[in-house]
Amino acid sequence: MSPDDPVEEFFARERAQVRPLPADEGHWSSLVLEARREKRGRRMRYAMTAAAAVVIVGGGVTWALRPGTPDTDQSLPATATSQTTHPRTPTPSSASQTPARSTSPSTTSGSSRTHTPPQTTIAVPANFRVVSLSNVGGGTLYALGLTTCGSIGTPCPALARSTDDGSTWRLVSSFPENDVASEATGGAVGTDDSLREVRFASPQVGWVFGGALKMTTDGGRHWTDVKHSGRAVIDLETDGKTVVASTSDGDCTRLSCAGKVSVDVSSTAAWKPSTPATGLADGTVLSADVAYHQGAAFVSPIAERLATTPWRVVPSVAKVASTCEGEVPGPVSLVAPAAGDAIFAVCPSDGAAGTTGYHVAVSTDAGATWNPVSTDALTLVNAGTTSYAASDATHLVAVSGGSDALKGSMRVSSDGGRTWHTPAAPPPTPATGWAWVGAPGGRTLYAVPAGGASGFWVSSDNGEHWRQLRVAGG
């Protein structure tokens, strides 16, 4: 050690003060219980001093995912608490390391840390159940799932990352004091303390939300609670430069939110949200999905038994005069393809017992005008949840799910929504159907089963053929 190197002197002093502790199961349990007692104490003190300003956070329906019960007793150790500053982390050895536990120091703006996190050598537990995906390009994917945390095996959400396009996975962080909205069948908006969706703008910057809203700037190793309007976050999306969150000022259950829908808009560099639009919908809100299309952001609020209208919220706020052929004003879902100048509107209509037909319209001028594409050509099993994705202006996929009895269905279109068919080699329908489909770019599509699963399904040819990618145990 150099005698005048203050950094080396600092670490030498710190190492000299390290006190060895036992590494048995009993000690793990005491650490977990003590951490929870401390955090609950902080929550109680906060509630006593700010009871009139409690923030409850939720999530949206299109990505509504219901994790299954873990089928093994494998436990994920409780992870270490993050600090405000972090020394450079050495290259990890082959020994198992613990992913960093999320922290919730306050509801202030997110940290400015942007360093690339080191790879962890912790494998994803075999009981991990994927509930949400985010692809940020360059082969980097994030999966939010449900597993068990700590030596006592408490169910909790955790985050896994792949840097080779889903071939292998490692755990990044866990959230021992949160849960996943797991009881919904027709969608899940989220309840207090739940986490059920993940979005990343880059390999470093991302968010998890449900009954809580957290932001990371170091690839998911450390998290900060961030402020937002209203009492609940329904949905959140980003185009890599800006991020839009739809919120509700009313309480949320696992199925819906009660209150007015507003939006928060922020840059991805730092969470400093503005609220450019309020009162986009009111009543029993089932979803308020956010979609980006050629630099514009749209919100599609859907309220129970009420006519709703989509809104453009970025770069300016305006109603979208969408048209679905033959349909009186009613719920409209906007579907933004990963490429091309088209944007689609999908509206439910009548259907036979157990199924629902849908009208499809298309716009090529950012929603200013619309042309009908098809009427009831798309039919899905009415299982409770629907999700849509489009890789371009020609190829679309639609799924439904959420019901043990009806399961769900998957349909694809290769002519811009005019006709729909079963995929040439479809994946097996999950026990409760499908929760979500997404288009990350190119000819690739993803599908996540309702109820959570050990992995997800991917298509490399616009939805005709599918293969399974496993996250659990990876």
**Residue-range domain boundaries for the chain:** 35-77+99-286, 321-474
Give the H or E element holding residue 199. strand 195-200
What pTM value is reported for the model? 0.75
pLDDT at 326: 52
pLDDT at 351: 66
- The runs of H, that is alpha helices, within 104-228 are none
Residue 344's nearest CA partner among 392, 297, 379, 377 is 392
pLDDT at 189: 67
In the 3-class helix/strand/coil scheme, how is 386-444 assigned residue by residue? EEEEECCCCCEEEEEEEECCCEEEEEEECCCCCCCECCCECCCCCCCEEEEEEEEECCE
Encoded tokens for 224:
């900060």
Q: CATH number of the domain at 35-77+99-286, please?
A: 2.120.10
Cα–Cα distance, 187 to 183 (Å, whole number):
9
Residue 15: other Cβ atoms inside 10 A = 8
Asked whether 94 and 74 are in contact (CB, 8 A), the reply is: no
The pLDDT tens digits for 386-427 are: 999 999 999 999 999 988 888 999 999 999 999 999 999 999
Asked whether 371 and 362 are in contact (CB, 8 A), the reply is: yes
The pLDDT tens digits for 184-230 are: 334 556 666 788 899 999 999 999 987 778 999 999 999 999 988 88
pLDDT at 3: 47
Cα–Cα distance, 388 to 333 (Å, whole number):
9
What residues of the chain score a pLDDT lower than 70?
Answer: 1-121, 152, 180-192, 322, 325-330, 351-352, 474
Q: Which residues contact 129 (CB under 8 A, 6 or more apart)?
A: 67, 68, 70, 145, 146, 147, 452, 453, 454, 472
pLDDT at 122: 87
| Identity at 158, one-letter amino acid code | A
Cα–Cα distance, 147 to 136 (Å, whole number):
23
Cα–Cα distance, 144 to 169 (Å, whole number):
12
